[in-house]
Amino acid sequence: MHMACFFRRSIAAQLSRIFGQDEAFFLPLVCAVPVSKRQPTPDFRLTVSSLVKSGVLPPDGDLLAQTACLARQLKGDGVVEEVIPTRGVINFRINKLLLAEKLLTSVHAEPQGFGMQSEILQRLRRGRVLVEYSSPNIAKKFHAGHLRSTIIGNFIANLKEALGNDVIRVNYLGDWGMQFGLLGAGFQRLGSQEKLRENALQHLFEVYVQVNREAEQDESVRLAAAEFFRRLEQHDQQALLLWQQFREISVKEYRRVYERLGIHFNHYSGESFHQSKIQDVLTSLQTQGLLKTTEKGTGVVDLSEAGDMSSYCTVLRSDGTSLYITRDIAAAVDRKEMFSFDEMIYVTDKSQSGHFWQLFQILRMLGHSWAKRCVHVPFGLVQGMSTRSGDVVFLEDVLDEARNRMLQNMHQTRTSKELSDPALTAEQIGISALIVQDFKGPLISDYKFNWDQVLQAQGDTGVFLQYTHARLCSLLRTQASVSHTHFDPCHLQDTRSLSTLQHLLRYDEVLLQSALELQPRYLVNFLITLCHLVSSAHRDLSVKGSALSVAQARLHLFSCTCSVLASGMRLLGITPVQKM
Distances from the Cα of 215 to the Cα of 185, 227, 228, 242, angstroms: 11, 13, 14, 20
Instruction: Show Cβ contacts of residue 532 under 8 Å, excluding neighbours closer than 6 positions.
Output: none
Q: Is residue 140 flagged as an active site residue?
A: yes
Rounded Cα–Cα distance for residues 155 and 133 (Å): 10
- The pairs formed by 391-394 with CB atoms below 8 angstroms and a separation of 24 or more are 393/143, 393/144, 393/145, 394/141, 394/142, 394/143, 394/144
| Amino acid of residue 410 | M
Rounded Cα–Cα distance for residues 80 and 96 (Å): 10
Q: Of 383, 382, 335, 380, give the one whose Cα is nearest residue 359.
A: 335
DSSP assignment of 93-120: EE-HHHHHHHHHHHHHH-TTTTTTT-GG
Asked whether the beta carbons of 503 and 533 are under 8 A apart, the reply is yes
Q: Where are the beta strands (DSSP E) in 183-258?
A: none
Among the listed residues 140, 469, 503, 556, the single catalytic one is 140
Among the listed residues 143, 292, 355, 440, the single catalytic one is 143
Asked whether the beta carbons of 133 and 150 are under 8 A apart, the reply is yes
Q: Where are the beta strands (DSSP E) in 133-278?
A: 166-173, 267-270
Q: What is the DSSP secondary structure assignment for residue 350, as one 8-state letter?
A: G
| Amino acid of residue 129 | V
Q: Is residue 146 flagged as an active site residue?
A: yes
At CA 360, angle to CA 354 and CA 365, rounded to 5?
Answer: 125
* Structural element, H or E, at residue 287: helix 275-287
Q: Where are the beta strands (DSSP E) in 331-423?
A: 343-349, 374-379, 382-383
Q: Give the count of beta carbons closer than 10 Å to the beta carbon of residue 334.
A: 18
Q: Is residue 143 flagged as an active site residue?
A: yes
Asked whether the beta carbons of 500 and 557 are under 8 A apart, the reply is yes
Specify which residues 59 forms β-bridges with.
none
Among the listed residues 141, 146, 491, 556, the single catalytic one is 146
**Residues with active-site annotation:** 140, 143, 146
